[in-house]
Amino acid sequence: MFRGSIKLGTILGITIRLDYSWFIIFFLITWSLSAHRLPALYPDWTPATYWILGIITSILFFTSVLIHEMAHSLVARRHGIPINNITLFIFGGAAQITQEPKQAKDEFMMAFAGPATSLILSAIFWILYLLLSNLSEPIATIFSWLGSINLMLAIFNFIPGFPLDGGRVLRAIIWGATQDFARATQIAAAIGRGIAFLFIFIGIWMIFSGNWVNGLWIAFIGWFLENAATASYRQVALKDILQGHTVIEVMTTDCPNVSGRFTLEKLVNDYILYTTRRCFPVIENEKVKGIITLHNVKDIPRHLWTIKTVEEAMTPFDRMKKVSPKDGLYDVLEMMASEDINQLPVVEDSRLLGIVGRDSILAFIHTRAELGV
């Protein structure tokens, strides 16, 4: 959502992060409980009680969301799918799955685990409410709301709108029936977009009916789901295009070498502007010392280009991520996206063979897509 997040810690080897947008929804839920719901139910309580219970309830709710995502993650791990982190954000939570499931049954189990866990949590909170309703009204109120909201969370996630959990369950069923992952994703994503547009329509109708707060929220959820469904399908289509293709097909092998003693001004005037290349190996005594990129140059104020050298601005070779000519293009493109890297050196047996750029991979994709091959 927003650019940036805060690391909370690690649970069972999975990093837990808070997207900055999470603070918006945390405040809205706390405010809704403390300023509206609790005062309406219990007008005799003090304002401090409302806000303390509101904060505690919000924390427990997002703990429930985290448990929901942990269920996905642990089942994914059990089926050999690595999970790097879980991020809580304005629409709930998301586990970062580093690869798609290899079998339909793996996806089914992984997707089903989240809503099933929310149902179990709902039952636990309702049982606690029944046990404590005669002992402590404030605590019982917390558990009553948590029981209801976890039930709603489970029902919402069971909606068959990809990429919601229900949509992933639907994709798993279609995948199992057709044995075609790309086709299953296309169908599930199309249904997901249809449900997303329905959410947007309902939201707009509610806005014009006077319920603009809930209407705006539902429309916003629909917009988010539509974008997520479209992005998910494009990712699968991208993987299908790049399947079986490797770095050696797109890498550049004729990159001009430059000296680390060159000034940045000389590099720009004699190499970057002259060749339109964006990346140059820095060679000294027939050894690769580093790579200098357009991004490196842009990091240096222009008035210093006459005195700063290439060696001072370059990225040292031993600190760079490297790829092999046999590496798959999809994996390399994912690495570039996750690390925000535009060029990578291609190395084999400690020898620099060339450079692979994100622009080269994207040009490869566009060409094949236009030709339909």
373 residues of the chain, pLDDT tens digit each: 445 788 889 998 899 999 988 898 899 899 989 998 889 888 888 999 999 999 999 999 999 999 999 999 999 999 988 888 898 887 778 888 877 788 999 999 999 999 999 999 999 999 999 998 888 888 888 899 999 999 999 999 999 888 889 999 999 999 999 999 888 988 999 999 999 999 999 999 999 998 887 888 899 889 988 988 888 888 888 888 888 899 999 998 888 889 999 999 999 998 888 877 788 889 887 788 988 988 889 999 999 999 999 999 998 988 888 899 999 998 898 888 877 888 888 988 878 888 898 888 988 888 887 777 6
Preceding amide of 101 cis, omega within 30: no
How far from 322 is each of 20, 347, 350, 356, CA to CA, in Å?
32, 7, 10, 10
Q: How far is the C-alpha of 117 from the C-alpha of 121, rounded, in Å?
A: 6
pTM of the model as a whole: 0.73
Q: How far apart are CA 58 and CA 76, in angstroms?
A: 27
Answer whether 191's CB lies under 8 Å from 171's CB.
no
Q: CA-to-CA distance for 102 and 360, rounded, in angstroms?
A: 29
Identity of the amino acid at 120: I
| pLDDT of res. 162 | 86
CA distance linking residue 121 with residue 255, whole number of Å: 58
Which two structure tokens, joined as six digits, stand for 113? 């685990």
Which tokens sit at 143? Answer: 């558990």
Q: List the domain boundaries for the chain.
A: 5-242, 247-371
Give residue 113's pLDDT: 95
Q: Report domain 247-371's class.
A: alpha beta
Phi, psi of 163 (to 5 degrees): -100, 25
